[in-house]
Chain A
Amino acid sequence: MTFSPELEAKLTKLVNSYPAGRLKSALIPMLMFTQDEVGSITPELVKEIANRLKITPVQVDEVVTYYSMLHKKPMGKYHIQVCTNISCLLWDGDKLYEHARHKLGLGHKEVSADGQFSLEEVECMGACSWAPAIQVNYDFHHHVTPEKLDEIIDSLRKLH
């Protein structure tokens, strides 16, 4: 597989961050960074990473299935993650998630037919003092009301 020059540079820097003989340490960051470009952890990507890190594909796969941010199927271009954990729940995070379900017409981990949006009810994301919070891909939004969520989704829709 070939990646963009920027990603290749990032991966080169990454594998040089660990001591000699400890190449496997690069596995999880490498999965995260390549997933961002490829869209999901495809079987080809698993083989590619196994080759680069001199491990077996099953050693890659056992790690992929453990971590919640690694996906074998692509999520939407805009992955909407709504936290409903305790601090967000106390600020109606559960109702916000229900609102998102209706607005997007999607359930937990479902992707829209056009591939633009996906929804996930997520665990604590570290925005507890500014609840309820959502993440769109890696971007945080704090103190999100149903109206604010509508605005965020509508503005993303307008980009197309």
Chain B
Amino acid sequence: MLFNPPSPLEVKVLTVRFGLPNSASIDTFLANDGYKAFEKSLDMTQEQIIQEVKDSNLRGRGGAGFPTGMKWGFVPRQSPKPKYIVVNSDESEPGTCKDRVLIENDPHMLIEGCLIAAQAVGSKTGYIYIRGEYRYLIDVMDKAIGEAYARGYLGKNILGRGVDFDLYTHTGAGAYECGEESALLESLEGNRGQPRIRPPFPAVAGLYACPTVLNNVETFAAVPSILLMGGKAWADLGVAKAGGTKLTCLTGHFNRTGVYELPLGFPVEKMINEVGGGVRGGLKMKAFIPGGSSCPVLTGDEAWPLTMDYDSMAKAGTMLGSGGVVLMDENTDMVKAALRIMHFYQHESCGWCIPCREGTTWLKKLLTRLDRGMGTEKDIDLVGDVSKNMMGRTFCPLGDAAALPTESIVRKFRHEFEAKIAKTQISMAGVASPFVVV
């Protein structure tokens, strides 16, 4: 099922089967190039598969943007230990709702991506870790997996070619932190979702301390089209150092919110005005988040001339992230936005690292006070200070994820914090003590 009509500006590679009747069924999949890339991979060496993925310039679609082919290349294929494929479908980054659409519309594309990855590293077992809130997708995925077993694309001696691969779904139970790869592995082993210290990285010691290929849903789903088109042709869809297309979630104050497949390097201005139908109500854009609430926030002026790719966003001091675009119009209360974002990270901090656990808690208190207009100028400085001191001091990126948007909002929209303080000081004039302890 599609939740929004497609845009004529989309480049349909991963979403090519979306909208076909019964697009999630194996029959529709097989009638539209399904499992052809996997069959092709059976005649390729492991090096050839990995090289093709390297040539495609595919970078991890979960948010970090690490080159996928390189990640697969780190797996010690000669190791006597079993190798595992793990799909990260714990999609929880605020602003991101693309993996849900991918699984719902084309679950076999994900299975095929897993099969090819398994061929590339010699894996016989894979797990798809799906966040607990997406319970209905477990049914969608289980049904597709059942079809694949019945038609001989999973199980023992696949297609009579002597290849074995088993694939299972696994549900989470509500924890943003489990989208972080090492916390996900802990959760998959039946533990609290707390991150592991790295190195070793999952490619070497992941699930059950065995070599593991762990990627986002969209990353695995991209692999079949890479093998069919050829890595170089797939890379050419995007820009230098960032190949292919990206499922982009337009959220917030767009006229046409929705999930759209756009080539890497797509201009922000065209994305907002033509794909997203412009800013809601014809208003001005005040702020822009390129890929989920963990990214540093840009002002409207900063965002308009950029393109949607890793390098362009890095140069502007932010990240492409997960593809969860958040647009805020000129009427948005940035203090409230900063508080709501911090409310989330404080709730989701696993508590393992003190700078994150204490930092998010205190930042939430400070931002609550500022939002109520009860803060002081010193509080504004303190928010910036605490944020900076959290960065780079935690096992996993959650600490940075909380600090980056907060620090950027305080720096770029400081006048809004000051205005709230000034407004309350006028209305509270004559009140003995305007300070509240939150």
B17 is an interface residue with CB less than 8 A from chain A: no
Report whether B344 and A128 are in contact in the complex, using a CB–CB cutoff of 8 Å. Answer: no
Return the CB mask of A112-142 against B: 1 if under 8 Å, else 0: 0000000000011111111100010011101
Report whether B172 and A67 are in contact in the complex, using a CB–CB cutoff of 8 Å. Answer: yes
Report whether A84 and B173 are in contact in the complex, using a CB–CB cutoff of 8 Å. Answer: no
Q: In residues 186-236 of chain B, which contact A (Cβ within 8 Å)?
A: 187-193, 208
Of the stretches B72-80, B89-97, B152-160, the one at the interface is: B89-97
Task: Give the distance in Å from the alpha carbon of A29 to the alpha carbon of B170 in the complex.
Answer: 7
B136 is an interface residue with CB less than 8 A from chain A: yes
Task: Give the distance in Å from the alpha carbon of A78 to the alpha carbon of B96 in the complex.
Answer: 26
Report whether B348 and A87 are in contact in the complex, using a CB–CB cutoff of 8 Å. Answer: no
Task: Give the distance in Å from the alpha carbon of A6 to the alpha carbon of B34 in the complex.
Answer: 32
Task: Give the distance in Å from the alpha carbon of A22 to the alpha carbon of B127 in the complex.
Answer: 14
Q: In residues 1-32 of chain B, which contact A (Cβ within 8 Å)?
A: 3-4
Return the CB mask of B347-366 against A: 1 if under 8 Å, else 0: 11010000000000000000
B16 to chain A, nearest CB (A): 20
Return the chain A residue nearest B142 by Cβ: A13
Report whether A28 and B208 are in contact in the complex, using a CB–CB cutoff of 8 Å. Answer: no
A26 is an interface residue with CB less than 8 A from chain B: yes
Please classify the interface of chain B as helix (H, G, I), strand (E, B), loop, or mixed, using the class held by over half of its residues.
mixed
Given contacts A32-B132, A87-B95, A126-B131, contact A70 B174 (CB under 8 A): yes
A100 is an interface residue with CB less than 8 A from chain B: no
Task: Give the distance in Å from the alpha carbon of A53 to the alpha carbon of B348 in the complex.
Answer: 27
Known interface pairs A24-B190, A128-B96; 7 further A-B residue pairs with C-beta atoms within 8 A, sorted by A's residue number: A28-B187, A62-B192, A90-B332, A123-B92, A126-B131, A126-B133, A130-B4
Return the CB mask of A1-41 against B: 1 if under 8 Å, else 0: 00000000000000001010010111111011100000000
Return the CB mask of A85-96 against B: 1 if under 8 Å, else 0: 111011100000
Residues from chain B with Cβ under 8 Å of A140 in the complex: 136
B125 is an interface residue with CB less than 8 A from chain A: yes
Task: Give the distance in Å from the alpha carbon of A22 to the alpha carbon of B95 in the complex.
Answer: 35
Residues from chain A with Cβ under 8 Å of B340 in the complex: 84-86, 89
Task: Give the distance in Å from the alpha carbon of A130 to the alpha carbon of B252 in the complex.
Answer: 9
Return the CB mask of A47-72 against B: 1 if under 8 Å, else 0: 00000010100000011001111100
Cβ-defined partner of A129 (8 Å) among B91, B133, B257? B257
Cβ-defined partner of A86 (8 Å) among B193, B208, B258, B293? B293
By CB atoms of chain A within 10 A, which of B134, B174, B176, B193 has the most?
B174
Return the chain A residue nearest B4 by Cβ: A129
B300 to chain A, nearest CB (A): 14
B82 is an interface residue with CB less than 8 A from chain A: yes
Chain B: residues with CB nearer than 8 A to chain A?
Answer: 3-4, 82, 91-97, 99-100, 125, 127, 131-136, 168, 170-176, 187-193, 208, 249-253, 257-259, 289, 293, 324, 326, 328, 332, 336-337, 340-341, 344, 347-348, 350
Number of contacts between A and B (CB, 8 Å)?
143
Report whether A90 and B252 are in contact in the complex, using a CB–CB cutoff of 8 Å. Answer: yes
Cβ-defined partner of A66 (8 Å) among B91, B92, B193? B193
Return the chain B residue nearest A65 by Cβ: B192
By CB atoms of chain B within 10 A, which of A24, A28, A131 has the most?
A28
**16 CB < 8 A contacts A-B:** A22-B189, A24-B190, A24-B191, A55-B190, A67-B173, A69-B132, A69-B173, A86-B337, A90-B251, A125-B133, A128-B324, A128-B326, A129-B258, A130-B3, A130-B257, A138-B133
Residues from chain B with Cβ under 8 Å of A91 in the complex: 252
Return the chain B residue nearest A138 by Cβ: B135
Return the chain B residue nearest A127 by Cβ: B97
Task: Give the distance in Å from the alpha carbon of A86 to the alpha carbon of B252 in the complex.
Answer: 8
Q: In residues 133-159 of chain A, which contact B (Cβ within 8 Å)?
A: 135, 138-140, 142
Report whether A25 and B324 are in contact in the complex, using a CB–CB cutoff of 8 Å. Answer: no
Given contacts A126-B97, A126-B133, contact A70 B173 (CB under 8 A): yes
Task: Give the distance in Å from the alpha carbon of A4 to the alpha carbon of B332 in the complex.
Answer: 50
Task: Give the distance in Å from the alpha carbon of A58 to the alpha carbon of B319 in the complex.
Answer: 41
Task: Give the distance in Å from the alpha carbon of A27 to the alpha carbon of B341 in the complex.
Answer: 31
By CB atoms of chain B within 10 A, which of A67, A125, A128 has the most?
A128
By CB atoms of chain B within 10 A, which of A26, A124, A129, A139 has the most?
A129
Residues from chain A with Cβ under 8 Å of B191 in the complex: 24, 63
Task: Give the distance in Å from the alpha carbon of A138 to the alpha carbon of B133 in the complex.
Answer: 7
Task: Give the distance in Å from the alpha carbon of A113 to the alpha carbon of B91 in the complex.
Answer: 34
B149 to chain A, nearest CB (A): 12
Residues from chain A with Cβ under 8 Å of B341 in the complex: 86
Given contacts A25-B189, A126-B131, contact A131 B94 (CB under 8 A): no
A66 to chain B, nearest CB (A): 4
Residues from chain B with Cβ under 8 Å of A87 in the complex: 94-95, 251-252, 324, 326
Report whether B4 and A63 are in contact in the complex, using a CB–CB cutoff of 8 Å. Answer: no
Task: Give the distance in Å from the alpha carbon of A106 to the alpha carbon of B350 in the complex.
Answer: 28
Report whether A17 and B173 are in contact in the complex, using a CB–CB cutoff of 8 Å. Answer: no
Report whether B97 and A28 are in contact in the complex, using a CB–CB cutoff of 8 Å. Answer: no
Residues from chain B with Cβ under 8 Å of A130 in the complex: 3-4, 97, 257-258
Return the chain A residue nearest B210 by Cβ: A19
Cβ-defined partner of B95 (8 Å) among A125, A128, A139? A128
Report whether A85 and B189 are in contact in the complex, using a CB–CB cutoff of 8 Å. Answer: no
Task: Give the distance in Å from the alpha carbon of A33 to the alpha carbon of B193 in the complex.
Answer: 19
Return the chain A residue nearest B138 by Cβ: A29
Task: Give the distance in Å from the alpha carbon of A128 to the alpha carbon of B257 in the complex.
Answer: 9
Cβ-defined partner of B257 (8 Å) among A32, A125, A131? A131
Given contacts A63-B192, A68-B174, A123-B348, contact A138 B257 (CB under 8 A): no
